Amino acid sequence: MSDQLETIEDYYKRIRQDKNKVFDSEDFETGKSHFNISMRKYCSFKSPYNRRDYYKISFIIGKGTIHYGAHELYIDRPALFFPSPSIPYSWECTSDFQEGYFCLFNQEFFNGNSEFNLFKKTSLFKEWSKPVVFLTEEQTQLATLYFDQIYKMNNSAYPYRCNSIKSHLASVLHLALENRVEDVNPSELPANVRLYRLFDELLNKQFPLDSPAYPLVLRTPADFAHHLNVHVNHLNSSVKSVTNLTTTQIIKEKMFEESKNLLKYTNWDIAEIGYTLGFEQPSHFNNFFKKHAQTSPLKFKNSY
């Protein structure tokens, strides 16, 4: 696997150096929610083989080869491509005719929208997911409709364009789930990916949190290791080898994501939210939230 990790900043720098006008990237700010979309006819004919720290969805019309981890996937008919950011991949065109779209978005965009909570419980974008979904003629027409609208909204001044983009992007994800074949059999996966998959499923099953009467149960790597009947060091090394993140980082990020959703979409008070997330003292939750958001939970809640 490649040790290279391409960030969105790296991507935009690369296309500017190539004098490629695929995107208007002036509104990108590190740490802020970000989404962008482009027509594929403007993309280069070969992309570098890297892992990414962002999500990408391609609606491919045209022939080409995807190098995905240790696999080589040939595309010869309309398809959707949902790569896992932690697996290195590249694309190489094998025909001059290239149509469709591709969009990219960061973790903040994916985490910050409750419309996508359902998809986090599925295998989309996961390391054990088959990343290509081939489309029938009818499904190709649907995908074209969804992406046309996303592209139109992304370039419009319509005040609710973000809501429209999220709605149509969710339709694309549903289209993929409707048409997915079985994902990779767990027995075919390396041991570290199998363990990470079990951890990921266990983590996401805990969310969303529905009531202060049912607080978060599994909060630490040791909690998950005990539940999975493995040593915590083994869990930590497996998770790090797959995601390049620590188990603690992934858990804390998920808790922070949920805390923002609870602050935005419920009428629970700050103490109730902190307790539900497993913080015995409101001050502990306050410090946790400030560390991640650079603002207090109360100020964040009031802003919504």
Read off the pLDDT of each residue in 281-291 and give the average, rounded to a whole number.
94
Same domain assignment for residues 252 and 166: no
Number of domains in the chain: 2
20-29, 76-85, 117-126, 188-197, range with the lowest pLDDT: 20-29
User: With the CA atoms of 301, 257, 178 and 104 taken in that order, what torsion angle do they form, in degrees rounded to the nearest 10?
Assistant: 100
Q: Which of 149, 179, 209 is the last residue of a domain?
A: 179
pLDDT at 81 over 60: yes
Contacts 24+ apart (CB under 8 A), 202-207: 202/227, 202/228, 203/250, 203/251, 203/254, 204/120, 204/121, 204/254, 205/121, 207/117, 207/120, 207/254, 207/258
What is the CATH number for 192? Answer: 1.10.10.60
The whole-number pLDDT of residue 141 equals 97
Same domain assignment for residues 191 and 169: no
Res. 47 pLDDT band, cuts 50 70 90: confident
The whole-number pLDDT of residue 86 equals 85
Same domain assignment for residues 79 and 207: no
Query: Could you write out the DSSP letters of every residue in 155-197?
Result: TS--TTHHHHHHHHHHHHHHHHHHHPPP---GGGS-HHHHHHH
Res. 118 pLDDT band, cuts 50 70 90: confident
pLDDT at 1 over 50: no
Same domain assignment for residues 118 and 49: yes
Read off the pLDDT of each residue in 21-37 and give the average, rounded to a whole number.
75
Same domain assignment for residues 17 and 160: yes
Same domain assignment for residues 173 and 190: no
pLDDT tens for 146-189 read: 999 999 999 999 999 999 999 999 999 999 998 875 566 667 77
Q: Which of 152, 179, 206 is the last residue of a domain?
A: 179
Same domain assignment for residues 234 and 268: yes
The whole-number pLDDT of residue 218 equals 96
CA distances for 130 relative to 91, 93, 118, angstroms: 16, 20, 18
C-alpha–C-alpha distance, residues 73 and 66, integer Å? 5
Contact in structure between 85 and 67 (CB atoms under 8 Å): no
What is the CATH number for 132? Answer: 2.60.120.280
The whole-number pLDDT of residue 77 equals 95
Average pLDDT for the chain: 88
* Burial category of 273 from C-beta neighbours within 10 Å (exposed 0-12, middle 13-18, buried 19 and up): buried
8-12, 138-142, 159-163, range with the lowest pLDDT: 8-12
Read off the pLDDT of each residue in 116-120 and give the average, rounded to a whole number.
84
pTM of the model: 0.77
pLDDT tens for 230-284 read: 999 999 999 999 888 899 999 999 999 899 989 988 999 999 999 999 998 999 9
Same domain assignment for residues 47 and 113: yes
Same domain assignment for residues 197 and 238: yes
Same domain assignment for residues 43 and 148: yes
pLDDT at 2 over 50: no
pLDDT higher at 101 or 13 = 101
The whole-number pLDDT of residue 26 equals 66
Same domain assignment for residues 201 and 166: no
* Burial category of 106 from C-beta neighbours within 10 Å (exposed 0-12, middle 13-18, buried 19 and up): buried
User: Which domain covers residue 241, as residue numbers?
Assistant: 186-302
Q: Which of 163, 179, 195 is the last residue of a domain?
A: 179
Same domain assignment for residues 112 and 252: no
pLDDT tens for 49-68 read: 888 889 999 999 999 999 99
C-alpha–C-alpha distance, residues 200 and 202, integer Å? 5
